[in-house]
């Protein structure tokens, strides 16, 4: 039986975000169950490529 696993890296801006680096989060999905974690890294939104992750 095959198990479907997905990984997604994305930026998560705080509600009070004005400028500067934002945290990078990792979402792991296994058979439609999700878990989200911070990677402990940050990135400027202008340098982030959403397609590449």
Tell me the per-residue pLDDT of 7-43, one tens digit each, with 9 for 90 and over: 999 999 989 988 999 999 999 999 999 999 999 999 9
Q: Is it the case that residue 53 has pLDDT exceeding 80?
A: no
- Indicate the number of domains in the chain: 1
DSSP readout, 1-53? ----EEEEEEE---TT--SS-EEEEEEEEETTEEEEEEEEEEE-GGG--TTT-
- Name which of 52, 45, 37 is nearest 11 in CA terms: 45
Count of positions (residues) in the chain:
53
Range of the domain at 44: 1-14+21-53
pTM: 0.82
């Amino acid at each position: 039986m095959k198990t479907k696993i997905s990984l997604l890296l994305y930026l998560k801006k705080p509600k009070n975000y004005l400028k500067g680096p934002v945290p990078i989060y990792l979402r792991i999905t296994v058979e439609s169950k999700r878990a989200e974690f911070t990677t402990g890294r940050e990135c400027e939104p202008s340098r982030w490529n959403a397609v590449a992750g």
